[in-house]
Amino acid sequence: MPLDELRDLLLRRRCPMEVRDLVWAHLVTQARTYGGDWTTACIGMALPGLAPVCRWMGARFPGAPDDVHAEVLAGFLRGLASTDLDRPGIVARLRWTAFRAGHAALLEALAAPMPVMSGFRSLPPPVPWGHPDLVLARAVRREVISRTEADLIGTTRLDKDSIADWADRNRTTLAAAYKARNRAEQRLVLFLRDESQDTNPDDPVAAQVQAELAPTTSCGADRTGTRGRRARVAVDPRAVPLEESHET
């Protein structure tokens, strides 16, 4: 089967994660054994996931975009050599390795001293804006959510994988997975709402996000007459698919 046809099949939502992992385990093993064309094949197969990372990094990199693109690719190649093929989600972990390499290069470039004659400098967007993977990574670093919860949200919300597949891979029930995601997303909403309060109040985008993340209460106030910071905070119901509402 031509690799481009195989890639299209793997990208279909109905393709089971087990099939994706089996194919990627074979590709990575071939790349490690023979290199050359097999390594190139792995890059081509991963391109739909690497291209958005490169675009986001390149748009924020203060130098030539090709430099940060090269770092993303180098991170992916390091992942090919080191990723554990016995764990599920091989391609997702390869993409994370590539993202982390590009992000490290981006932070290093932004932290470098500006030329004396330069009056301008590219900066990443203020919080809570940013690549969704970066937002999740920041929430894990702040201990708002765990790595497992970040993987649950990233896999089922961003990668659009089935939450049933995630629950099966992680040896938990579907109901437990829904509850875990809902609780993690509530903490994430609070975290982003708190961060958005530090943004420019005249920024119309910030104002819109603060409105979307505003807390809701069942009575408008708690028993003491003040709004609880964490109690009775609900995720915007528009963010939860209707078929999942009975679990949340």
Give pLDDT tens digits for 105-163. Answer: 888 887 766 555 445 555 555 444 556 777 787 888 888 888 888 888 887 887 667 88
Q: Which of 74, 75, 58, 73 is nearest to 109 (CA)?
A: 58
Q: Determine the average pLDDT of the residues in 24-52.
A: 92
The Cβ of residue 201 has, within 10 Å, a number of other Cβ atoms equal to: 9
Q: What percent of the chain has pLDDT over 70?
A: 69
Q: Which of the pair, 136 or 244, is modelled with greater confidence?
A: 136
> In the chain, count of helices (H) and strands (E)?
10, 0
Q: How does pLDDT run across 202-218, given as a tens digit for each residue?
A: 554 455 545 554 554 44
Look at the pTM and tell me if it is higher than 0.75: no
pLDDT higher than 50, residue 198: yes
Q: Which of 91, 108, 86, 82 is nearest to 53 (CA)?
A: 91
Dihedral sign for Cα atoms in the order 180, 183, 189, 191: negative
**Distances from the Cα of 246 to the Cαs of 177, 178, 179, 207, 242, in angstroms?**
13, 10, 10, 31, 8
What single-letter amino acid sits at 149?
E
Structure tokens at 150: 């970040």
- What distance in Å separates the CA atoms of residue 39 and residue 178, rounded to the nearest whole number? 37
